[in-house]
Amino acid sequence: MEQKSLVTIADHSREKIEYLIQMAQEFECHPNRRLLEGKVVATLFFEPSTRTRLSFETAANRLGARVIGFADPKVTSGTKGETLKDTIMMVSNYADIIVMRHYLEGAARYASEIAPVPIVNAGDGANQHPSQTMLDLYSIYKTQGRLDDLDIFLVGDLKYGRTVHSMLTAMHHFNPTFHFIAPEELAMPEMYKKFCREHGIRYVEHTDFNAEVISGADILYMTRVQRERFTDLMEYERVKDRYLLKLDMLSKARPNMKILHPLPRVNEIEYSIDENPHAYYFEQAHNGLFARQALLCDALGITLEDVKNDKTIID
Amino acid sequence: MNCKKQLMVAAIENGTVIDHIPSEKLFAVVNLLHLDRMTSAVTIGYNLESQELGKKSIIKMADKFFTDDELNQLAVICPNLTLCIIRDYEIVEKRTVTLPSELRGIVRCANPKCITNNEPMKTLFHIHDHNALKCHYCNTIINLDDVQLVNNK
């Protein structure tokens, strides 16, 4: 079995992304198995993230693995000055795989270079969050029936939002058309627009956010406009409500359009939309379980074939 | 004029001469090549007149020959250096430096939240778009003009 770390979705080809989606589908049919029985999964959260940690731990538990780890970095030796390397080497002695979230950028890449066991990046600062991207792609695939030739509208903080950057990188295999909807202060950075041009990806920029602008969307991907990103708080007050999705803005939406949001939501989507058939963000989070089951198995060298022929399903 | 320069920076019998160093980059070159650890004679000319550069600097290192990899690192701070390999007072080889495709342990990442600035580890950069470097770990892109070297004491 070939073990391999997952640091960034940018390492994955189109074929690999489709392969992982197929694997996630298998897990969605039968999430409870004993496929990882006898394995120990370590979840090292050097930065708290309840949502991601619970999702990974549920994925491991439903596959029969045991889970060790910490959710609060204050309890680790990192506070005593231990290096990341020492922590990773120590935990590698105990666990078969390490899922880690770290506040420093590049921490997962470094850990994957030194650890004898596979590392799954559960977010490294503002850098990468590949399991979020994988569940986003799985959600897009599930709701649209394909990943190719879609109109994807990204809304909110496109400057700092790592989920939208990873989405852009991963979707470049699938001939998308992007629409970037953001205030000027939080517009898509030039390097990502350059990436689009270099890969022949069409994109349109908007600062307005209304029914007309979003009428052509297959996917409406909402992100949070965060107060702390603004140097001028007057400017924040001016723009914050401009990117609130209201129920009446869905009047011209395509029937297949789905609204995604990486959550937590604060003030981006009116609560009245939750019951609307276009809303998909809670199902999206649920899909994270199956996507993470696939990522854990893939990192441990378990193939799609193994999953299809699995005799350990618990019904 | 030539005569005066030769007096200021004496010729060497065998070794390496690095010429056309912009004066503001001299001490970065000295650090990068670890000249403070050398035991053979090193002559440094600082702020010499240069028609091309205004002020230039020059380093002559007796009995010292570098590998291509060591010398190519210099391209990060001065892409237009000229190097002369001297044997028996004669220039036997003249060469320029070329930027290697990756740089390990030389350049400091500009991102304070990069793991390389917080762990005892070597940095690693890849060439990005000809005139910039990309951090292998945090993906930060640094323009070659803004490069800071690691403090590798």
**Chain B environment of A102 (Cβ under 8 Å):** 115
Residue of A46, A47, A104 to mutate when probing chain B, most B C-beta within 10 A: A104
ipTM: 0.89
**Chain B environment of A127 (Cβ under 8 Å):** 138-139
Instruction: Report the number of distinct structural domains present in chain A.
Output: 2
Q: What is the pLDDT of residue B68?
A: 87
Confidence of residue A77 (pLDDT cuts 50, 70, 90): low
A126 close contact with B: CB closer than 8 A: yes
- B134: its two tokens: 């990309």
User: Looking at residue A248, which CATH number applies to its domain?
Assistant: 3.40.50.1370
Active-site residue, from A53, A101, A172, A278: A101
Active-site residue, from A12, A33, A43, A52: A52
- CATH assignment of B2-96? 3.30.70.140
Domain membership flag for residue A4: no
The answer, yes or no, to whether residue A271 has pLDDT greater than 90, is yes
Q: What is the pLDDT of residue B1?
A: 46
Domain membership flag for residue A315: no
Contact flag B138-A84 (C-beta cutoff 8 Å):
no
Residues A267 and A136 in one domain: yes
User: What residue spans in chain B does CATH classification 3.30.70.140 cover?
Assistant: 2-96
Q: What is the pLDDT of residue B61?
A: 94
Q: What is the pLDDT of residue A45?
A: 96
Contact flag B120-A83 (C-beta cutoff 8 Å):
yes
Residues A42 and A123 in one domain: yes
Active-site residue, from A14, A51, A85, A202: A51
Q: Is the peptide bond before A264 cis (omega within 30 degrees of 0)?
A: yes
Domain region containing A55: 9-129+287-308
Residues A173 and A124 in one domain: no
Residues A295 and A261 in one domain: no
Q: What is the pLDDT of residue A162?
A: 86
Residues A268 and A155 in one domain: yes
User: What residue spans in chain B does CATH classification 2.30.30.20 cover?
Assistant: 102-149
Q: What is the mean pLDDT of chain A?
A: 94
The answer, yes or no, to whether residue A75 has pLDDT greater than 80, is no
Chain B nearest CA to A206, separation (Å): 26
Residues A124 and A136 in one domain: no
Give the residue on A whose Cα is nearest the Cα of B141: A191
Q: Which residue has the higher pLDDT, A140 or B22?
A: A140
Domain membership flag for residue A314: no
In order, the DSSP letters of A242-304 are GG-B-GGGGTT--TT-EEE--S--SSSB-GGGTTSTTB-HHHHHHHHHHHHHHHHHHHTT--H
Contact flag B115-A105 (C-beta cutoff 8 Å):
yes
Per-residue pLDDT of chain B (153 residues; tens, 9 = 90+): 444 444 456 789 999 999 889 999 999 999 889 999 999 999 999 999 888 778 889 999 999 999 988 888 899 988 888 899 999 999 999 989 988 999 999 999 999 999 999 999 999 999 998 889 999 999 999 999 889 988 754
- CATH assignment of B102-149? 2.30.30.20
In order, the DSSP letters of A26-87 are HHHH---B-TTTT-EEEEEESS--HHHHHHHHHHHHHTT-EEEEES-GGGSGGGGT--HHHH
